[in-house]
């Protein structure tokens, strides 16, 4: 099956359970979801359910699905910078409300569905992201330059994560816009932070992303690409550095189709 969409986005995404979860017989509590809209816009989300929550995986799946759908239902061509920020924050709020509603249906405390959430809207000319919690989103310009769009968002103490259901989680969300030649996008959960970012600054570690971005430019079969990405996440190179759940969403935009889509956004 081809992963080359009509508008030339290629997307491959994988979530796998970490070694610590597998040892305890727990499911992967990460989730991801994405859509390519008719306007040539990619909307993607990654969430990491809290390891201490019994239903973190449920919260993560609800969050990514609701957030992406909320953006997909809007007229995105009319948005300016402020409009984009409102759209993404509203999508985070919709995701939070959906998670809270699920907790009421299940008659459990909301913290049992606690999750982080990273939501990204990407075009060939810019990316805008909203994030609650850790993990990050980065972009590449096709010339071996990698740029941060978001950085891990933590609480007052080391290793303390902010969750979507937190009282001020949405209000204190990190929202940022990156403008430039966008060729590559990567969104990942906190399990990959120590490999993908130069901590504590949270800057992208280019040697980590370079082979992944090259991989995205040559693969065309969805099943094979997913298999290879999963093998990478389960390889000793990765699992030797982390035992957490892992999610990595990669996207590549074919520059040969860049002009027709970018022109729509020059006025923003």
* Domain-embedded: residue 3: no
pLDDT class of 26 with cuts at 50, 70, 90 = confident
Q: What does the pLDDT read at residue 41?
A: 93
Cβ pair 220, 1 in contact under 8 A: no
* Domain-embedded: residue 158: yes
pLDDT class of 199 with cuts at 50, 70, 90 = confident
Find the mean pLDDT for residues 135-159: 86
Indicate whether 1 pLDDT > 60: no
Three-state SS for 262?
A: helix
CA distance 214 to 250: 11
* Domain-embedded: residue 186: yes
CB-based burial label for 229 (10 Å; 0-12, 13-18, 19+): buried
Cβ pair 137, 127 in contact under 8 A: yes
CA distance 171 to 68: 19
Find the mean pLDDT for residues 150-164: 77
* Domain-embedded: residue 62: yes
Q: How far apart are the first and last CA of the chain?
A: 35
**Structural domain boundaries, residue 37:** 9-261
197-201's contacts with Cβ under 8 Å and 24+ in sequence apart are: 197/136, 197/151, 197/152
- pTM value is 0.92
* Domain-embedded: residue 268: no
* Domain-embedded: residue 1: no
* Domain-embedded: residue 88: yes
CA distance 163 to 154: 9
Domain count, the chain: 1
Indicate whether 240 pLDDT > 80: yes
pLDDT in tens, 52-62: 899 999 999 99
* Domain-embedded: residue 201: yes
- Provide the CATH number for the domain around residue 251: 3.60.40.10
């Amino acid at each position: 099956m081809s992963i080359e969409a009509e508008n030339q986005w290629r997307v491959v995404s994988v979530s796998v359970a970490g070694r610590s979860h597998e040892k305890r017989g727990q499911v992967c509590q990460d989730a991801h979801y994405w859509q390519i809209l008719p306007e040539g816009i990619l909307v993607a989300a990654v969430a990491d359910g809290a390891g201490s929550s019994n239903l973190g995986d449920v919260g993560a799946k609800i969050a990514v699905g609701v957030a992406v759908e909320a953006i997909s239902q809007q007229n995105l061509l009319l948005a300016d910078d402020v409009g984009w920020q409102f759209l993404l924050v509203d999508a985070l709020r919709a995701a939070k409300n959906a998670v809270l509603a699920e907790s009421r249906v299940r008659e459990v405390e909301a913290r049992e569905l606690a999750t982080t959430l990273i939501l990204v809207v990407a075009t060939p000319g810019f990316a805008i992201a909203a994030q609650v919690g850790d993990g990050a989103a980065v972009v590449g310009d096709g010339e071996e330059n990698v740029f941060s769009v978001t950085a891990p968002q933590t609480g007052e103490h080391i290793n303390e994560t902010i969750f979507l259901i937190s009282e001020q989680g949405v209000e204190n969300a990190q929202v940022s816009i990156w403008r430039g030649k966008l060729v590559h996008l990567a969104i990942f959960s906190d399990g990959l932070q120590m490999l993908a970012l130069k901590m504590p600054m949270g800057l992208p570690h280019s040697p980590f992303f370079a082979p992944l971005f090259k991989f995205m430019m040559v693969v065309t079969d969805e099943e094979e690409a997913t298999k290879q990405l999963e093998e990478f996440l389960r390889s000793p190179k990765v699992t030797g550095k982390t035992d957490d759940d892992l999610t990595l969403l990669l996207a590549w935009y074919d520059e040969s189709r860049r002009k027709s889509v970018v022109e729509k956004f020059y006025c923003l």
